Structure 1
Amino acid sequence: MSATQAHNELRTILTTMKRASIQNGPATLAMRQDRLQRSIRLIKENYSALAQAMSDDFGHRSTYQSLLADMVTTVKMLQHAHDHVEQWMQPKVIEGLDGPEAWIEQQPLGVVGIISPWNFPINLAFGPLAGVFAAGNTAMLKPSELTPLTSELLADLIGRYFDPMELEVVLGDADVGRQFSALPFDHLVFTGSTTVGKHVMRAAAENLVPVTLELGGKSPVVVDEAFDLSTAIERTLTIKTFNAGQICLSPDYLMIAQGKEEQLVSSAKAFIEQSFAQIQENADYTSIISDRHYQRLIHLLNDAQEKGATIVNLGPQDEPGFDAQTRKIAPHLVLNATQEMAIMQEEIFGPLLPVMTYDHWADTIDFINQNDRPLAAYFFSDNKEHQTQFVQNTTSGALVINDVMTHASIDDLPFGGVGASGIGAYHGEHGFRQFTHAKAVVRQSEDGASNLRLRAPYQDNLGLLKAFLDA
């Protein structure tokens, strides 16, 4: 099938869905809640098969990680939307008007396109869908080609639980993704790299399609000099090793006070030994998604070492630090990291953690502000004044103090980036608002009084305007 044929086929699907959306009218509360409940049922009734498919796609993926991040967390997001959508749907009445009535009608956008990534295939498909369905929309989903077994199973399951006019799945490679992003959706959601996000936004712009882009970037961890370093590195490595660091919110580099490197290494080794007595044969440790991504990470390590970094393998001494057969890479610290290294220039998406040092903690703020705004920033400090300065003087999609990634599981907080790390946010009510058109509605009073000030002749009212301005 040619690119033109593929594009025409996708456009036909979208046109049919748009027509059905208009003919069926706005989704009722009952329909919205039913779609959310069917999403929950799909996950609950098939979680074992989905977890196995994900593990097969990865080479190996921790079942616990799949059940927690892709199943339980996603079900809770969908249930939260189900439980609150009636409240979110209510029109907002504008008070204090003299004459006309006015309110904001919460109107569905129509058909929303979702391009979901491979690292959390269920969470990052149904997470946006929680807001999309709560807002009364229908959707087309393009899951990642890097998890083909999961994507195929997801397409089959969605076909069983949903009518194609509610939720349609499009399978295919990157070329299909490009065709998908060029469709005239009523809104488009993309989760992935900043580089691809630029192409998606450019394609969407041709049809003036509004976008929500969740793009990741380099999320920093800063440890204040007085904060307990062992606690900070334990909480940081907890997330850096989850899904083998293949998370958009994963810490991308660490900044500590000069002279604390030895303590850092000691604490990091002790924590990994306690958490992962072995790596290569450990069912709790996840593989890198593909050979290409595995080789990319090894290149980052080699490049850093060639440019003066000290590489510290935190894995067991009797095991290799990485194995191309299993595609498992042990956690590594990259000490003496510099901006010239590739590992500091691109999002890592793996269990490698560059470490930089500072003379004064406030220097870290300047460093962060000189670079693209991250999806999240993590600041470890018990000093309230330092916390306030960090909150007020850095810009990131989110900020977590004394922990890492905690905000992502709090449904009432917006999830999204800023600048190079993304556009827009969802989760909870923020997802509902993102995928809803807030339509202003005014009903004029019978006497039409507010309209009269615009009616000629104007001379009689000119004095009133001058009196107001001269007051």
Structure 2
Amino acid sequence: MDNIASQISSTERSSIAPMDPDHQGDPYKNLENTLFVLKKHSRIHPFPSFNQRLTLLTKLQHALLSYEEALLKALTSDYGQRAPEESRLIELIPALGEIKHAKRHLSHWMRSQSRRPHISIFPAKASVMYQPKGVVGIISPWNYPILLSLSPLVGALAAGNRVMLKASEFCPATNSVLRQLLEESLSEEWVAFVEGEVEVANAFSQLPFDHLLFTGSTQVGKQVMANAAQHLTPVTLELGGKSPVIVSPSANPKTAAESILFGKLINAGQTCVAPDYILCHRQQKPALIHHMKQTLARMYPNGIDSPDYTCLINEKQMSRLTGYLDEIEQQQICYENLMPQGPKWKENKLALHLLHQPDEQLKVMQEEIFGPILPLLLYNDLSEAIAYINVRPRPLATYLFSQNTKEHREVETGMVCGGLVINQTLLHVAQADLPFGGIGESGMGMYHAIEGFHTFSHTKAVLHKKRPNMIRLLMPPYKKHIHKLLKRYWRFL
């Protein structure tokens, strides 16, 4: 750190202003200065060694373990109610798993790949190396403020980058702990933690990063991409959309009901890959609803008053969801509260409501629900369900419940989505060796596993020409023998 600081001239140092915590000054200028310092470090040490990267990941791992209780308390504070067991399950354990997976495979990921140069330039050696891009910007959301901050951070650090992390303003308590965790484990040479509201996030996405990853809504993702385009900054967009569940005639309705409710009500449905709506085979509907009611009564015996039922993050989200229900009542759409053991809603808690065959023009069928409302549509043939999904924006996740391998294959090959899970929901996100990402309106690019390492790396071709250099025989002036040689080579190709 001292060596780097000494290489920054006095003129340059005077132009570097500290971050204004109250954002009273120009937020873009403050962010720009922070980026300038990180880029300085990146240019001086453009290729951190394996040991340096491993050390960073290990420090982050130890800090996450030591701050476990503080993070759990902060999450409960920000949400109002969120069971520590749930936060540990959906945030801390997957984040820790990502760190350990990256450490285990880092040496392999960093290894250059040999390629075969064409015989025409023999003797030569060809390879592909994975170069750190430089400084990566990460914009994380409020719904999983720890996991969706640390998971891309792990990939970026493993790839040898510096990082600017913009956290959501809706989780101030979690941000305070996360900032302390990062400052203690990773110096300012590697990570800068940024907070602020909409104007700061907008300025952040306009910075000339070497790569930018955004997690959030499709609408905001479009604006982030437009901002990044000013500098031709490559982007990874982790968005959302409407992730469907298909319940086939061969499905076990009890297993399907339990798995759907697990995915739908973890974090009160505030998950980008939460089941958004069900496409249920007509003959399965009665059994599915029966098992859903039984499962809910077991999971939450006091309804939304149960201590394990998570709050919505704020009143804005509650108002949005109750607005969907108001529109449904006005349109006289049939719906039911599947949790009669307690109130339908109170404070920032909303019971799970099942909508029966809702009209396609309703907002709840046009927008990502992101909460405990679950539309149920009926179909007669699996091809009908696949066609329904295929004419809509490509989903971030699709869930199929089926015991028929032919149906598995039909869904695997018959539609395009970010990820497919058969006979379960959500669990693919927590698999450290599987890539995660959307396609189309559900996202662009991916991270996690080796694919995340590649996302944050520049794949650089390296060609080493050895002696003798026969290419000089093909240089101008082009004589008759060169013409014949090239004609023969053309026929050979």
TM-score range, shorter chain: over 0.9
CA contact (8 A) 2:279 2:376 kept: yes
The equivalent residue for 2:100 is 79
User: 1:322 is matched with which residue: 338, 342, 345?
Assistant: 345
The alignment status of 1:226 with 2:250, answered yes or no, reads yes
Amino acid at match of 1:29: F
User: 2:261 is matched with which residue: 206, 222, 237?
Assistant: 237
Q: Classify 1:320/1:200 alpha carbon distance in 2 versus 1 (closer, same or farther; 3 Å).
A: same
CA contact (8 A) 2:297 2:303 kept: no
Q: CA deviation at 1:359?
A: 2.0
The equivalent residue for 1:380 is 401
CA contact (8 A) 1:145 1:173 kept: yes
Q: CA deviation at 1:156?
A: 2.5
Structure 2 Cα separation of the partners of residues 222 and 437 of structure 1: 38
Q: CA deviation at 1:257?
A: 1.7
**Cα-to-partner distance string for 1:31-61 (whole Å, 9 max, x where unaligned):** 1011111111221101111111111111111
The equivalent residue for 2:301 is 277
Q: CA deviation at 1:4?
A: 7.6
Structure 1 Cα separation of the partners of residues 216 and 433 of structure 2: 23
Residues 251-260 or 361-370, more deviating: 251-260
Structure 1 Cα separation of the partners of residues 57 and 184 of structure 2: 15
The equivalent residue for 2:413 is 392
Amino acid at match of 2:207: L
The equivalent residue for 1:49 is 70
Residues 258-267 or 87-96, more deviating: 258-267
Structure 1 Cα separation of the partners of residues 209 and 472 of structure 2: 37
The correspondence of residues 66-465 of structure 1 with structure 2, limited to 5 A, is 66-95=87-116, 97=118, 98-317=122-341, 319-323=342-346, 325=347, 327-450=348-471, 452-453=473-474, 455-457=476-478, 459-465=480-486
Q: CA deviation at 1:259?
A: 4.7
CA contact (8 A) 1:338 1:356 kept: no
The equivalent residue for 2:37 is 16
Amino acid at match of 1:432: F
Structure 2 Cα separation of the partners of residues 86 and 222 of structure 1: 40
Q: Which SS does the other structure have where 2:208 is aligned? A: coil
Question: Where does structure 2 lack aligned partners over 5 or more consecutive residues?
Answer: 1-21
Residues 452-461 or 173-182, more deviating: 452-461
Structure 1 Cα separation of the partners of residues 261 and 474 of structure 2: 65
Q: Which SS does the other structure have where 1:379 is aligned? A: strand
Taking structure 2 as the reference length, the TM-score comes to: 0.92
Residues 112-121 or 35-44, more deviating: 35-44
CA contact (8 A) 1:308 1:336 kept: no
Amino acid at match of 2:92: M
Q: Classify 1:346/1:467 alpha carbon distance in 2 versus 1 (closer, same or farther; 3 Å).
A: same
Structure 1 Cα separation of the partners of residues 225 and 86 of structure 2: 31
Q: CA deviation at 1:261?
A: 3.2
Structure 2 Cα separation of the partners of residues 237 and 149 of structure 1: 29
Residues 208-217 or 223-232, more deviating: 223-232
CA contact (8 A) 1:245 1:350 kept: yes
Question: Where does structure 1 lack aligned partners over 5 or more consecutive residues?
Answer: none
Q: CA deviation at 1:66?
A: 0.8
CA contact (8 A) 2:210 2:233 kept: yes
Residues 277-286 or 212-221, more deviating: 277-286
Structure 2 Cα separation of the partners of residues 329 and 465 of structure 1: 74
Q: Which SS does the other structure have where 1:416 is aligned? A: coil
Structure 1 Cα separation of the partners of residues 329 and 320 of structure 2: 14
Residues 9-18 or 398-407, more deviating: 398-407
Aligned residues: CA RMSD: 1.6
Structure 2 Cα separation of the partners of residues 371 and 209 of structure 1: 29
Amino acid at match of 2:314: S
**Cα-to-partner distance string for 1:188-240 (whole Å, 9 max, x where unaligned):** 01000000000000000001000010001100001112322222121111111
CA contact (8 A) 2:396 2:437 kept: yes
Q: CA deviation at 1:397?
A: 0.4
Structure 2 Cα separation of the partners of residues 451 and 119 of structure 1: 61
Q: Which SS does the other structure have where 1:93 is aligned? A: strand
The equivalent residue for 2:10 is none
Structure 1 Cα separation of the partners of residues 356 and 479 of structure 2: 74
CA contact (8 A) 2:117 2:124 kept: no
Amino acid at match of 1:82: K
Q: Which SS does the other structure have where 1:374 is aligned? A: coil
Taking structure 1 as the reference length, the TM-score comes to: 0.96
Q: Which SS does the other structure have where 1:280 is aligned? A: helix
Q: CA deviation at 1:454?
A: 5.1
Structure 1 Cα separation of the partners of residues 219 and 480 of structure 2: 59
Q: CA deviation at 1:421?
A: 0.4
Q: Classify 1:69/1:433 alpha carbon distance in 2 versus 1 (closer, same or farther; 3 Å).
A: same
Structure 1 Cα separation of the partners of residues 145 and 205 of structure 2: 18
Structure 2 Cα separation of the partners of residues 462 and 3 of structure 1: 70
Structure 2 Cα separation of the partners of residues 454 and 334 of structure 1: 73
Q: How many residues align?
A: 468
CA contact (8 A) 2:139 2:165 kept: yes
Structure 2 Cα separation of the partners of residues 308 and 92 of structure 1: 62
The equivalent residue for 2:7 is none
CA contact (8 A) 1:335 1:354 kept: yes
Q: Classify 1:103/1:282 alpha carbon distance in 2 versus 1 (closer, same or farther; 3 Å).
A: same
User: 2:52 is matched with which residue: 31, 53, 59?
Assistant: 31
Structure 2 Cα separation of the partners of residues 352 and 398 of structure 1: 22
Structure 1 Cα separation of the partners of residues 282 and 45 of structure 2: 64
CA contact (8 A) 1:178 1:200 kept: yes
